[in-house]
A and B are shown apart, each in its own frame.
Chain A
Amino acid sequence: MDYLDFEKPIEEIEAQLKKSRDLEQETEVDMSKSIRELEKRLVSTKKDIYKNLSAWQRVQLSRHPQRPYSLAYLEAITAGDFLELHGDRHVKDDKAMIGGWGKLGDFPVMFVGQQKGVNTKMRQYRNFGMANPEGYRKALRLMKMAEKFQRPVVTLIDTPGAFPGLEAEERGQGEAIARNIYEMSKLRVPIICLIIGEGASGGALGIGVGDRVLMLENTWYSVISPESCSSILWRSWDYKAQAAEALKLTAEDMLKNKLIDDIIPEPLGGAHRNREEMFEVVQKRLLKEITALRKTPVEKLLDKRLEKFEQMGVTKG
């Protein structure tokens, strides 16, 4: 497990614990007292650190290299009953955007999400979770299929942004995102959007319009990354922590500003510290939301969806 800079005290205690346990096994000397003490210290240290995370620390957690990505969630929450589908039917199959049918409990659901790679080679293959226009068009194709068969849509958002490349511009990155937002606002099935990592700007919103928009506890969602914000407004890369603070991009701030519907708590230390627990929490929550949303008549669902986004913004006069 990789430790972030602010997790160093935890790393130290965990290293000591391991040493004591190894020693106990090797020497058969009873170390249980010191082990128990270390365990207690570990719990309280973790609580201290994770209770008071700064915005920037949350951003770091959201990008933790061992954090589970979309496909890991899908495999777990559908218990393997997942049928991945490919291609936008125009240009290609975008590896940064995945999707397909999966069973959530008894419900067939269309899943769509950005996908990051788990190692250097796969990160390249997945283009770091930065979709091209064909990724957004693939997502839209799948969402329209869900509408045809009257099944709910679940989107998993985890992207540092839509890809800003030359071909992406040629093929209409702006149009692709705009079209998704437009179509999602009137898609006649329930949509649940869940931010599982990074929610950067239009790249996130391109699969982010729904009846429920939820954030995992250690994720961020904003119009720009703290680094880019720092470089533009402070004209230096060094103010990313201040920028993260100013952008109010944490789940807590987003909920307070009524820009999302709820927060899903993560295991102590983040989703990667206990993946199975995280998957179970997410599965239960999605099931609960789908059960509730399916009871709402579609016209009412669409009115409420529009109303929610209509109310976002603070103006005077």
Chain B
Amino acid sequence: MGWFTRRKEGITTRTKDKKETPEGLWYKCKRCKVIVSNEDHRKNLWVCKNCGHHERINAPEYFQLLFDEEQYTELNAKMTSGDPLKFEDTKKYTDRYQASVAKTGLNDAVSTAYGQLHGREVVIGAMNFNFIGGSMGSVVGEKISRAIDHALRNELPFIMISKSGGARMMEAAFSLMQMAKTSAKLARLGEAGLPYVSVLTDPTTGGVTASFAMLGDINIAEPNALIGFAGPRVVRETIGKDLPDGFQRSEFLLEHGFLDFIVERNCLKQRIDQFLGMTYPLEWDTEQTAS
């Protein structure tokens, strides 16, 4: 496999200050309100040192966190939505879309890339919650599908970091069918014997939970992430009662059997690597003797 030749073209190195800090030098924890410098917060991977609150971060931060030396090659970075339905509610979808592009500097709610994780080539997809609530439209489905294709072609493990409010309503049934597209592709990945790690982060709901996020060989989650199919508001309205504490949080899902384990952000890379070490490559015996 031409790792080295391929890595030379189009390598991206992310600078340390990718996470924008327009509010100044200080970060105030949303949960415990303790204030730390942005620099310290970043160094602690955007996790509160005082209470352990995992702040929401997006694809660029996860790529920095997981890829060796923060080096990776993004796939289909420029893909954008075609607005197939010319959707308009109180605003035009294209206007909402452009506003989101301008605000986030991203082109849609998922970024996909390949690179090395502890010296092992992997493909990673990570969602951008700041882009229309991390909602899944055609671009999200297509980029994930193509990232899995890349993994299939090169016999690589696939890792998906989910963070999404669910379907992108403005793409209606096109959005719905991305659930089928991504799941069908994952089925092929599974049949090829390649590992798939699903990482669920706060929040992961709706159509994303009901497709690729729940289909990992292992499903793992950051602490206290909201994970569910129906959103808590809808569930509350359905049952007409307040929801129990911790409902639809990572610890709740672990207890009910839908997660393999919960992982703190600073252990994420190591735990994924540990799992891949057990499951990949498929023919480890021959690999061992060959090297």
Q: Which residues of B contact A186 (CB under 8 A)?
A: 184, 187-188, 191
The reply on B290 being an interface residue by CB < 8 A is no
Within 8 A of B (CB), among A174-193: 174-175, 177-179, 181-183, 185-186
Within 8 A of B (CB), among A160-209: 162-166, 168-175, 177-179, 181-183, 185-186, 201-202, 205-206, 208-209
Whether B184 and A306, one on each chain, are in contact in the complex, defined by CB atoms closer than 8 angstroms, is yes
A236 to B175, CA, bound (A): 22
A153 to B214, CA, bound (A): 24
What is the total number of residues of chain A having a CB less than 8 Å from a CB of chain B?
A: 55
Whether A305 and B184, one on each chain, are in contact in the complex, defined by CB atoms closer than 8 angstroms, is yes
Which residue of B180, B188, B209 is within 8 Å of A312 (Cβ)?
B180
A209/B84 contact (C-beta < 8 A), A173-B210, A174-B210 known:
no
Q: Which residues of A contact B176 (CB under 8 A)?
A: 201-202, 205, 222-223
A223/B188 contact (C-beta < 8 A), A169-B235, A205-B176 known:
no
Which residue of B82, B213, B243, B257 is within 8 Å of A174 (Cβ)?
B213
Within 8 A of B (CB), among A40-76: none
Which residue of B186, B212, B229 is within 8 Å of A168 (Cβ)?
B229
A316/B80 contact (C-beta < 8 A), A182-B215, A234-B90 known:
yes
Stretch from B41-49, B153-161, B165-173 at the A interface: B165-173
The reply on A224 being an interface residue by CB < 8 A is yes
The reply on B273 being an interface residue by CB < 8 A is no
Q: Which residues of A contact B80 (CB under 8 A)?
A: 315-317
Contact with A along B188-231 (1 / 0, CB 8 A): 10010000000000000011011111110000000000011110
The reply on A80 being an interface residue by CB < 8 A is no
- Chain A residues touching B, majority SS: helix
Which residue of A168, A248, A305 is within 8 Å of B230 (Cβ)?
A168
A232 to B169, CA, bound (A): 9
A313/B230 contact (C-beta < 8 A), A172-B214, A232-B169 known:
no
Whether A165 and B239, one on each chain, are in contact in the complex, defined by CB atoms closer than 8 angstroms, is yes
List B residues at the A interface (Cβ < 8 Å): 76, 78-85, 87-90, 107, 137-139, 141-142, 145, 167, 169-181, 183-188, 191, 206-207, 209-215, 227-230, 234-235, 238-239, 243, 247-248, 252, 256-258
List A residues at the B interface (Cβ < 8 Å): 162-166, 168-175, 177-179, 181-183, 185-186, 201-202, 205-206, 208-209, 221-224, 229, 232-234, 239, 242-243, 246-249, 254, 257, 259, 305-306, 309-310, 312-317
7 interchain residue pairs of minimum CB distance:
A164-B230, A313-B138, A174-B209, A314-B82, A185-B184, A174-B229, A314-B84
